[in-house]
Amino acid sequence: MKDNRVYSVAIDGPAGAGKSTMAKCLARKLGFVYVDTGAIYRTVGYHMNLMGIGPRDKDGVERLLDDVNLKITYGDDGSQHMLLNGFDVTEEIRTPEMSKIASEISAQPAVREFLLDMQRDIARTHNVIMDGRDIGTVVLPQADVKIYLTASARIRAERRMKEQEAKGQKQSFEKVLQEIEARDHQDMTRAIAPLKQAKDAVLLDTSELNLEESVAAMEAIIAQRIPL
């Protein structure tokens, strides 16, 4: 970095667009901290589920929010770990059920409010690449770089299926596609902080690009705006 200030890169986009894979890769390359904000919503959803509270139960969720003690830690390889009340739940939050719960619970204003400062605090003190749904629009409206990363629903479903297969979670293509489309709809139509491209975000559609090409395209966008 050529100066002493901190920089932030905001990456938003629908489920399965490759945000986390690419952001992780670039963060390592550029020496930035990678922040996966979806994991934070997943962890809140996981806690509520554990306590028998449904993600749409507004009163129940609000009542239990203060019991949620979240901590983000990083492994030697830069991988993000989520600690919930001292327990590492990094693996547990990565199931299709938790994807759905996280999407539903994230529509609750109290949950978004609860997590806002935590996300902003990290960006205040570190160079970050932060991915999510509302990073460029709400969490870091002053981000130095904003990228809206997307790909067609079918391509995203194919990629998600491969990812899940690698983890031994086999599902049919139709089921994965249907889950992705349902989540797109839920995330894009909620009343508060819906997923949308920020006015000043660069659109990157990776439907026709492989991982290497997508990372290179993203790096070029960042390099135009940050003195690396």
Q: Where on the chain is the footprint of ligand DC (CB under 6 A)?
A: 15, 37-38, 41-42, 99, 102-103, 106, 132-135, 183, 187
Q: How far apart are CA 8 and CA 138, in angstroms?
A: 14
Nearer residue to ligand DC within complex by CB, 19 or 223: 19
Query: What tokens appear for 149 in the block?
Result: 């990363």
- Which is nearer to ligand DC, 140 or 202 (by Cβ)? 140
Least separation in angstroms between residue 187's CB and ligand DC is 5
The smaller minimum CB distance to ligand DC, of residues 103 and 127, is found at 103
Smallest gap, in angstroms, from Cβ of residue 41 to ligand DC?
4
- Number of Cβ within a 10 Å radius of residue 53: 18
DSSP three-state, residue 83: strand
Closest approach, Cβ 227 to ligand DC, in A, equals: 27
Phi-psi region of 16 (alpha: psi -120 to 50; beta: other; left: phi over 0): left
Q: How far is the CB of 149 from ligand DC (least distance, A)?
A: 11
| Owner of token pair 């996300």 | 119
Nearer to ligand DC, 5 or 35 (CB): 35
DSSP, residue by residue, 117-171 = HHHHHHHHHS-EEEEESSIIIII-TT-SEEEEEE--HHHHHHHHHHHHHHTT---
Q: Are 70 and 40 in contact (CB under 8 A)?
A: yes
DSSP letter assigned to residue 200: T
Type of residue found at 53: I
- Is the CB of 38 or the CB of 146 nearer to ligand DC? 38
| Minimal distance, residue 36 CB to ligand DC, in Å | 7
Given the complex with ligand DC, which of 8 and 103 has the nearer CB atom? 103
Bridge partners for 95 per DSSP: none
Q: Report the SS3 class of residue 175.
A: helix
Closest separation in Å from C-beta 51 to ligand DC = 19
Considering the complex, what minimum distance in angstroms separates the CB of residue 102 from ligand DC? 4
Q: Which is nearer to ligand DC, 38 or 129 (CB)?
A: 38
